[in-house]
Structure formats: structure tokens, C-alpha cells
Amino acid sequence: MLNEQNIRDILNGIEEPFIHKTLGELNAVEEVKVKAEKDHVSVKILVAKTGTAEQLQLQTKIVTLLKEAGAATVGIRFAELPESVLEEHRPAAQEDNGLLSPNSKTSFIAIASGKGGVGKSTVSVNLAVSLARLGKKVGLIDADIYGFSVPDMMGITTRPVVRGERIIPVERFGVKVISMGFFVEDNAPIIWRGPMLGKMLNSFFSEVEWGELDYLLLDLPPGTGDVALDVHTMLPACKEIIVTTPHPTAAFVAARAGAMALKTDHEILGVIENMAYFESKLTGEKEYVFGQGGGDKLADELRTNVLGQLPLGQPDWDEDDFAPSVYQDDHKLGKIYGEIAEKVVRALEG
């Protein structure tokens, strides 16, 4: 039978992920409650920083240990340690040489859309892979925190590891990848509010061991919500690519995302028109199933160019190296992505 002391004994031995002292040493187990009739345990834990990848990993560890000890369900709340405790254990300040520092040589490219369902994540994945095929050092942040899909699209089955205080991203097709999907168990829904999402996104920039990158792509959530606003605040020099379909309504909605970029002085590299047409394998005829002209209209409105038009088409799947959304470089769409990547490189490197 679980009781409060059993639970505290388990929790007190766990290491806090930032200060690297046990929760017991930091007096960080603030509250423990047990509902014996339902075998439900709820705890409140104090950590140095909330809303981070480390917090998610700690949460997973706590749930696992308590369920192994007999809990049927576990509820966890997190709060930050008192400033006096943080000050006592704060390391000496070090020069910031991360991606967000003024010394960073990395070019940031945000892939945005006005609405969901236009293939923005597919574009993000394939553009990142195509840039890597050109010999560039590329990172990809799946910043669509509510609708993360990049790991599945790229066929990633492993998770990042933590080395010291740094998260090592997963590498696939020459692209270093980090996603909220790595830190969520069983495809659980994300119910965080905006400020917590901002902290999580910031940790993707500052706490991940990216190494030297030429380009860091961000697959943004659709629309102009909290995460998109955070990106505009964190990355004043970010470039943007707007994804739309040919349908006039999709282009109209996408214009809002483009207008947001312009208002925050983000340079728009161009527009990508996805699902531009369907080409019959039998006759070669093109069917414009979602209409025509949306990409050109959007580019004119945003005073930019169409970087490429991508037809409807499925990648060739390799069962031994499964990546359901990545086009091979010799695939018709893979070649178009390669041409788009070359245009991006020319625009950014002159």
C-alpha cells in the first residue's frame, strides 16, 4: 500500500535536472497526496525552470517510478524553486555563444501558413533535407507544438539524449531535429498555455546542442498565435517562407501570416504553392483540383516571388528505411524541392 512517506522516499532520490542535486536535498517535493481507494497519487515538485524539455523528462521519470511502486494514476504539478535556492546553486555566468547570441552565424528560416492542412510540415521536412543534400549544416525545430508531426514524417524512431545539461538532437537525412513529440508520451495532447509554450520554444534554442549550423528551419503552427508571436520576438532576423494551396481562400488566409512577418520586419523569402495540381500518370494531363492562381496572388500581395509549385504526389516508400513524407532526390517532387533549396541558398548567400 502506497503512503505519503513511500512516495517521498522515491521522489527525494531523483535528481533535479538543472541544479543536479536530489529533490530531497533541495526540499523540492512540496506536496504529496494519496487517494488510497483509487491508487491515485498527486504531487507538486519544484524545479529551477518550468516549461522545458527537462521538465517533461523529469515528469516521465516520476510517473514511471510511481507506477512501478503501485500507483494506478499520477498527477504532477510543477513550480519554480525559490530564488534563494536558485541563487545558492547558480553557476558563474558564462559567455553566451548559443544560436540566439549576436555571434551566431546561423540563418533562421520559419515555414509559416495561414491555416492547417496545406502541407506546411511536409514542406519544412523536405526543404530541410534538400538543403542538407546541398552540403549545408541544417537543423529543424518542430515548433508546431500542438500539432507536432515531423518525427513521424521523417521516420524517426529514436529520442534525443541528455548529455550533462544539453539535449542532443536526433539526426536523420543529415538534418538535426528537435520536436515536442520527443518529450510527450503516447501522443498525449498538449494543454499548456502560451507563456509555457514560449519557455519550451526558448529551451529548443538555448538548451539543445546544435553545433555549427548554416540553417535552422522552424515548422511553425498555422496562423498567428502565441508560438508564432514568440518566434517573431525571439528571432528578429528570421526569414520566412509562406506555404499555401492554389485555392483563393487558402491564399487569403495565408496573407495574414505574411502580413505578420512584414510587420515584425521578418524578410519573406517567397511563397511555396503546395498541391498546385494533379498530373495523371496515364495521360500526363494536369488537373487543378484546388483551383489556380492562389500562390501568384499571395506573392503579389506580399511583394515577393513564388519559389516553387508542388503537385500532388506520394513519396516512394522504402520499407527498410521508412520515412513516409520524405521525397528522394530523384523523385519528381524531390527535384522541385532541390530547386527551391538552391533558390533559398542563393537568396541568403548571394
Read out DSSP for 206-265?
A: HSB---S-SEEEEEPPSSSSHHHHHHHHH-TT-EEEEEE-SSHHHHHHHHHHHHHHHHTT
pLDDT of residue 263: 62
pLDDT of residue 188: 57
Question: Can you tell me the distance from the alpha carbon of 197 to that of 143, in angstroms, rounded to the nearest whole number?
Answer: 10
Q: CB–CB of 313/332 below 8 Å? A: yes
List phi, psi (to 5°) of 24.
-65, -45
Cell of 133: 543534400
* Options 3.40.190.10, 2.70.70.10, 1.10.357.10, 3.40.50.300; CATH of 107-349: 3.40.50.300
Class of domain 4-89: alpha beta
Q: Please state the domain extents for the chain.
A: 4-89, 107-349
List phi, psi (to 5°) of 112.
-125, 160
pLDDT of residue 173: 94
List phi, psi (to 5°) of 347.
-65, -35
pLDDT of residue 95: 44
Torsion of CA 174, 178, 183, 186, to 10 degrees: -60
Q: Is 107 helix (H, G, I), strand (E, B) or coil?
A: strand
Q: How many CB atoms lie within 10 A of CB 206?
A: 16
pLDDT of residue 102: 66
Per-residue pLDDT of the chain (350 residues; tens, 9 = 90+): 678 898 999 999 999 988 889 999 999 999 999 887 778 999 999 999 888 878 888 998 999 999 998 888 999 999 999 998 888 887 644 444 467 776 778 899 989 887 777 888 999 999 999 999 999 999 999 887 677 889 899 999 888 888 877 889 999 999 999 988 787 765 555 555 555 656 777 788 888 899 889 999 999 877 655 566 667 677 767 888 989 888 876 666 666 666 666 665 678 899 999 999 898 888 888 898 888 888 888 888 888 899 999 999 888 877 777 888 999 999 999 999 999 999 999 999 86
Which strands, in side-by-side order, build the sheet including 215-219?
A: 170-172, 175-179, 138-142, 215-219, 107-112, 239-244, 267-274, 306-310
Q: Is 198 helix (H, G, I), strand (E, B) or coil?
A: helix
In angstroms, the Cα distances linking 331 to 314, 316, 321, 338 are 10, 8, 16, 10
Identify any residues that bridge with 111 across adjacent strands, giving them in sequence order.
219, 241
Question: Can you tell me the distance from the alpha carbon of 121 to that of 112, in angstroms, rounded to the nearest whole number?
Answer: 9
